[in-house]
Amino acid sequence: MRNKRKQNQISAPGLALVMVLASWALAQASEPQASEPQGSEAQGSQAQGSQRQVSDPQVANPQVSERENSNCPTKGALGTARVMAVDSTTYPRVGLKSFPQTLPLRDHEVVLTFDDGPSPRGTRKVLAALKKECARATFFLVGKPVADHPALVRQIAAEGHTIGHHTWSHQSLMRIKPNDATEEIDHGIAAVEMALHGVATTTPSTPFFRFPYFDSSPETLDLLQARGMVVFGADFWASDWKPMTAQQQLKLLIERLKVARKGIILLHDPRTQTAAMLPAFLRYLRDNDYSVVQLVPRALAVELNEGN
């Protein structure tokens, strides 16, 4: 039987990372974003190209900041166990549903990711659930709703979450011309950058991207790798694009977690049942000794460590 997670005590470097993350995200965070695999779940996405498989943290040597959560106002909260810094050199493409490589997470560690927001109704409920448990996630945002709800984007960043990119209008990039695919990526990045700090640049502050429907092509993968962007798949998901109740979704997600035991989890904050299910899922993670890992760009962690 695994030992229960120790009650969190924040470390100095960890606290610095937490405190800087919000302002960093507000000032810099924007990335290309991706989407759910909807109709392709049964067959899954095929890995493009050949990548080195990384599974051992000692081999991958990710830059990690351990931190605990004694400052969390919710007693006994799930919290965020540590921060892992990633870059496209070590982790160009991660997530076993699409690629042969994933992040070197320990047993019972999960990364929470949310696609397709921001959505005023769903995203706010998701943020409230995460805030109560002091858990940090990565949001892969779509440019159109970002342009419509820039204040909500800034709220996501201000609450310490990581913001990644998911294109401008959530099209399958495999089904449009290469130039149009590039425009979808750039327009989405620019929308996030504009919402966060008023500059419509196509250079993302946070170089994290997820393809809509996981529909990548060799050309778009090469483009993103040349730009130094990490492409995120997922290790498992809740299938929350399918009609189901919150209770059904919770049961399905827990069953998949028990099999995987760790991994990058794909959820969708605009989905009503996901927002309704999330508080119970976070409690399940807490009660069953799972730990949440937050992802940040390696450049940020290097900058923080040099400043401490």
pLDDT tens digit string along 141-150? Answer: 999 999 999 9
Residue recorded with tokens 């900041």: 65
**In this structure, are residues 273 and 240 in contact, taking their beta carbons and an 8 Å threshold?**
yes
Of the chain, the percentage scoring pLDDT greater than 90 comes to: 73
* pLDDT at position 49: 32
* pLDDT at position 149: 98
Residue 136 lies inside a defined structural domain of this protein? yes
The whole-chain average pLDDT of the chain stands at 83
Residue 46 lies inside a defined structural domain of this protein? no
Res. 56: pLDDT tops 50: no
Torsion angle of alpha carbons 143, 148, 150, 152, nearest 10°?
Answer: -100
pLDDT band of 287, cuts 50, 70, 90? very high
Residue 6 lies inside a defined structural domain of this protein? no
Range name among 25-39, 109-123, 230-244, 267-281 with the lowest pLDDT average: 25-39
Of the residues 115, 215, 235, 240, which is catalytic? 115
What's the domain count of the chain? Answer: 1
Q: Which one-letter DSSP state was computed for residue 5?
A: P
What is the rounded end-to-end Cα distance, in angstroms, of the chain? 37
Region 86-104 average pLDDT: 97
Which CATH number is 132's domain given?
3.20.20.370
Q: In the annotation, is 197 catalytic?
A: no
Res. 8: pLDDT tops 70: no
Identify which of 93, 94, 136 has the alpha carbon closest to the alpha carbon of residue 111: 136
Of the residues 87, 116, 268, 269, which is catalytic? 268
Residue 77 lies inside a defined structural domain of this protein? yes
Reported as a single tens digit per residue, the pLDDT across 153-163 is 999 999 999 99
What values do phi and psi take at 279, rounded to 5?
Answer: -55, -40
Q: In the annotation, is 235 catalytic?
A: no
Residue 259 lies inside a defined structural domain of this protein? yes
Residue 273 lies inside a defined structural domain of this protein? yes
| Segment (H or E) for 111 | strand 109-115
Region 38-53 average pLDDT: 34
* pLDDT at position 231: 98
Identify which of 95, 115, 113 has the alpha carbon closest to the alpha carbon of residue 105: 95
Residue 83 lies inside a defined structural domain of this protein? yes
pLDDT band of 175, cuts 50, 70, 90? very high
Would you call the peptide bond into 118 cis, given omega within 30 degrees of 0 as the criterion?
A: yes
Residue 88 lies inside a defined structural domain of this protein? yes
* pLDDT at position 55: 28
Q: Higher pLDDT residue, 38 or 186?
A: 186
Of the chain, the percentage scoring pLDDT greater than 70 comes to: 75
* pLDDT at position 276: 98
Range of the domain at 291: 12-39+52-307
